[in-house]
Amino acid sequence: MTLDTTQLNRERVFFETGQTLWLFGYGSLIWKAEFPFHERRPAHIEGWTRRFWQGSHDHRGTPEAPGRVATLVESSGACCQGMAYRIDADTLAPLDVREKNGYLRERITLHFHDGSHAEGLIYLATADNAAYLGHAPLDQMARQIATAEGPSGTNRDYLLNLAAALEDLGAEDSHVFELAERVTRLP
């Protein structure tokens, strides 16, 4: 069962229309930027950590066999590396559709490598959304990711593309790297 967040997100207008805004990507938005942007800069956010705790019924799995994709959980002192995109506000409409399976627009402070910061947006899937799966042992999550597949492709590719993108960024993320290692070891 999924809850489509598209309409909810259209009402979550935190920035003036007609201006550009920063979007922080921490999952597929790092490596699959199929949307127009003015500039792209590596960035991080503080107090959040990436976890494969969100179910995917529409991209990397199906309602019968959901995949697992990235969301963020609050974690004091944590730092999550990702990619910031400066986009037109209009670009959010198709992104709302792409992220409709439980993700909500939220305001966040982005930190850039030069020490500057900016207010921006993330798409966040919290524990109260219908597609949320939450914590499971890494081996169990790896088995689920190794077998799930949906209209956007395999769950395995989502994970391995994210791990490769994080490596390119020089990011630390033991959760993602350990999951990727387990998935590649599975037959």
- Burial (0-12, 13-18, 19+ Cβ within 10 Å), 68: buried
Q: Which is nearer to ligand SIN, 80 or 142 (CB)?
A: 80
Q: Is 34 a catalytic residue?
A: no
CB 133 within 8 A of CB 155: no
Instruction: Tell me the per-residue interface mask from 80 to 99 with ligand SIN, x by CB under 6 A, - otherwise.
Output: -------------------x
28 part of the interface to ligand SIN, by CB under 6 A: yes
| Residue listed under structure tokens 């989502």 | 158
DSSP string, 93-144: HHHHHHTTBT-EEEEEEEEETTS-EEEEEEEE--TTSTTB-----HHHHHHH
Bridging pattern class, strands 20-25 and 117-124: parallel
- Catalytic residue, from 99, 119, 172, 181: name it: 99
Single residue of 70, 133, 163, 179 touching ligand SIN by CB under 6 A: 70
Instruction: Tell me the per-residue interface mask from 95 to 134 with ligand SIN, x by CB under 6 A, - otherwise.
Output: ----x-----------------------x-----------
- Alpha carbon distance 135, 13 (integer Å): 30
Single residue of 9, 21, 22, 26 touching ligand SIN by CB under 6 A: 26
Single residue of 21, 27, 53, 160 touching ligand SIN by CB under 6 A: 27
Q: Would you state the structure tokens that stand for residue 57, as one six-digit string?
A: 């019924």
State the nearest-atom distance from the C-beta of 27 to ligand SIN, in Å.
3
* Residues that are catalytic: 99
Q: Kindly list the residues in this chain that would bind ligand SIN in the complex (CB under 6 A).
A: 25-29, 69-70, 99, 123
